[in-house]
């Protein structure tokens, strides 16, 4: 006998759509299930100004399948030279929903990112004053810091001092990967939330390295030890409204993933809802799935939940997802959780 759950249509609070032909190929994979998504601005060149955001949004809407009501929520890429007036105007007009801070060199296309938090304090002060949220890729990039410690060091040396200096700034610590980060968010009294990805709920660093290097599990921030994964699962399934879904679904073609210097990113848009239902059921928390995927994010961003509903059905036979999706640039491998999935969206 099948099992059915119905939830408010979910949103993705951290999504990479890329541009041009890749955008056209991957956008339907998100729009099929999600009502809205926070769109990452790390294009080449990045989405730095209000005009950039308007142009990118137009390209997304042009690529959207006819009749689909998916809504892209745009962000600006914070640089050392970002203009606070431009940010404030874009936010006041409703053109952007947030601003994204990439430490320079932290991840894909982040070379234009912030070199020192001191350089962008005037912009952050303006954002705090107008209520514009700041999405943060929370890692330091110093060569002397081990890659598995970069998130924890960032909390101590950048995030915590920033929150003390600007307590009214609304911050989202994106794609957290450690127990340290989960505990830090839980200890916050206000103005701090975190997104958690689908894949970080399922894989640890062994999945990347044991039995040979698995490039399609390589992402940044990199997956950590098992006790960190367990802590993320507990946070996501806890019902705590400060945690919500941000898939960080990040498409790269297979040749770019499987090269001598493979790109960081996991593409999970296609099967995220099936993966999440599996995880939440496994942890006895199916009743918390709607909060994590559909309610907590809008509440933190000051938006209403989607009106539409989404139904998931569990059957006795596994869902058959494609191994990859085809793009004009080449195939993009879909995230493999390593086990069969029995929940499907209907």
Residue 345 neighbours by CB under 8 Å, 6+ apart: 32, 33, 273, 274, 310, 311, 312
Q: For residue 321, count CB atoms less than 10 angstroms from its CB and return exposed for 0-12, middle for 13-18, buried for 19 or more.
A: middle
Pairing state of beta strands 71-73 and 75-77? unpaired
Catalytic residue among 12, 86, 240, 248: 248
Residue with tokens 């950590």: 224
Tell me how far apart the 2 most distant CA atoms of the chain are, in Å: 59
Q: Is 329 annotated as catalytic?
A: no
**Sign of the torsion formed by the C-alpha atoms of 66, 68, 69 and 73:** negative
Between CA 312 and CA 321 the distance in angstroms is: 15
Q: Are 83 and 118 in contact (CB under 8 A)?
A: no
C-alpha 250: how far from chain center? 9
The length of the chain is 346
CA distance 260 to 80: 32
Catalytic residue numbers read 248
């Amino acid at each position: 006998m099948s099992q059915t759950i119905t939830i408010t249509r979910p949103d993705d609070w951290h999504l990479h759509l890329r541009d041009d032909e890749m955008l056209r190929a991957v956008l339907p994979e998100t729009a099929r299930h999600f009502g809205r998504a926070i769109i990452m601005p790390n294009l080449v060149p990045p989405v730095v100004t209000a005009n950039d955001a308007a142009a990118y949004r137009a390209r997304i809407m042009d690529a959207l399948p006819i009749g689909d009501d998916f809504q892209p929520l745009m962000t600006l890429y914070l640089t050392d030279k970002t203009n606070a007036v431009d940010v404030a105007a874009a936010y006041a007009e409703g053109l952007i929903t947030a601003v994204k801070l990439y430490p320079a060199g932290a991840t894909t296309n982040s070379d234009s990112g912030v070199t020192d938090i001191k350089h962008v304090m005037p912009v952050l002060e303006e954002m705090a004053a107008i209520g514009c949220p700041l999405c943060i890729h929370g890692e330091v990039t110093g060569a002397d810091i081990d890659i598995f410690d970069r998130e924890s060091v960032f909390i101590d040396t950048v995030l915590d001092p920033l929150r003390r200096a600007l307590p009214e700034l609304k911050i989202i610590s994106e794609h957290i990967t450690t127990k340290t980060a989960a505990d830090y968010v839980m200890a916050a009294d206000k103005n701090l939330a975190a997104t958690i990805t689908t894949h970080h709920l399922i894989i640890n660093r062994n999945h990347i390295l044991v039995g040979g290097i698995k490039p399609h599990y390589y992402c940044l921030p990199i997956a950590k030890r098992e006790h960190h994964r367990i802590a993320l699962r507990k946070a996501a399934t806890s019902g705590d409204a400060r945690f919500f879904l941000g898939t960080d679904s990040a498409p790269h073609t297979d040749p770019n993933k499987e090269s001598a210097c493979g790109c960081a990113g996991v593409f999970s848009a296609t099967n995220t809802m099936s993966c999440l239902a599996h995880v939440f059921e496994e942890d006895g928390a199916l009743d918390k799935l709607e909060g994590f995927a559909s309610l907590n994010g809008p509440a933190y961003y000051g938006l209403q939940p989607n009106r539409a509903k989404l139904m998931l059905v569990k059957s006795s036979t596994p869902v058959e997802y494609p191994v990859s999706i085809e793009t004009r640039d080449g195939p993009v491998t879909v995230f493999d959780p390593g086990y069969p999935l029995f929940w499907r969206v209907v």
